[in-house]
A = this chain, B = another copy of it.
Amino acid sequence: MTLPPEFDLIDRHFRPLADPGALNLADDAALLRPPPGRELVLAADAMVENVHFLSDDPPETVGRKLLRTNLSDLAAMGAAPLGYLLTVALPRGYDAAWLAGFAAGLAMDQREFGLAILGGDTVSTTGPVSLSLTILGHVAPGTALRRDGAAAGQDLWVSGSIGDGALGLQARRGLVTDPGDYLAGRYQLPQPRLALGQALVGLATAAMDVSDGLAQDLGHLCRASRCGGVLKADAVPLSAAAASWLRSHPDGLPELLTGGDDYELLFAAPAGAAAEIARRAEACGTAVARIGHLVPGEPAVTLRDGAGAEIPLGRSGWSHF
């Protein structure tokens, strides 16, 4: 009795990625002995073709983006990665070269971030490629960074630069010039801030990753922490490419703050922690910028220019529906 094609597919593309606990992806489930005395951190993200990635994106970056958006959730909690499970829904006439590239991207990032696949499922679909990844990480019990620990008066910080992912999507669609494909690369290959997240444990009072636009995500942090947020327009860190785009789109800042796909860390900390934050971020090799502060009151997010005048944000951020 020969095996049906999906087992050949799993054998060829996913078995080489398996963690020892995955039992060679040949059993009903994987086994994992959690690190003793640690708390587990669990997140799941889905990605759909032509919603989260483009059909002509290099397949290597699709696998890596899927893994990295989940790693970014671990980073936001201050967690270290343990492993992941993956489900893949593919058209029946799927392109084997695409799948090989997708798996090669996962293999690359498994090495870079030190985790492996624990299990999953491969099924057919009549629609676009549909991917789902569940990630497991761990923290010392009770130390996970959450969204609800910040308070009015504290500073707001963000890592890296904001707006590149949104511009990168436009660049991939030919709507924004992108010399050297820097912006496209930021859209296709986010950089999970794992080292920074772990360095912020015990220092940041709240943290989250910016995936749906800085303004909207800050709104979530404000709601969870029961305060308002004020962003200083000229403190938001921009890449050279985004700064250049902004010079030709003088009213474009709100677009950069509501566009999504940044996968930077947004966090809050008391003003007195600023020097230590700068020191630890430097040790991680990750740039951080103080972009505003939290105020008492409703969980509204306000953007202010250098003179203190409010800049309207328009839409809040990305929504699927």
Contact = CB atoms under 8 A, between A and B. Distances in A.
A46 B216 contact: no
A279 interface: no
A219 to B, nearest CB: 5
Interface string A267-310: 00000000000000000000000000000000011000000000
B44 A134 contact: yes
Contact of A121 (B45, B86, B92): B45
The bracket for how many chain A residues form the interface is 35 or more
A92 B320 contact: yes
A89 B48 contact: yes
A45 to B, nearest CB: 5
Interface string A18-42: 0000010011111111100001111
A319 interface: yes
A100 B86 CA distance: 26
Contacts of A120: 44
B320 A26 contact: no
Contact of A216 (B4, B31, B122, B318): B4
Nearest to A317: B4
A254 interface: no
Nearest to A144: B31
Nearest to A44: B85
A139 B23 CA distance: 15
A33 B44 contact: no
Contacts of A203: none
Given A34-B40, A40-B34, A321-B92, A46 B128 contact: no
Contacts of A94: 321
Contact of A77 (B27, B90, B130, B317): B27
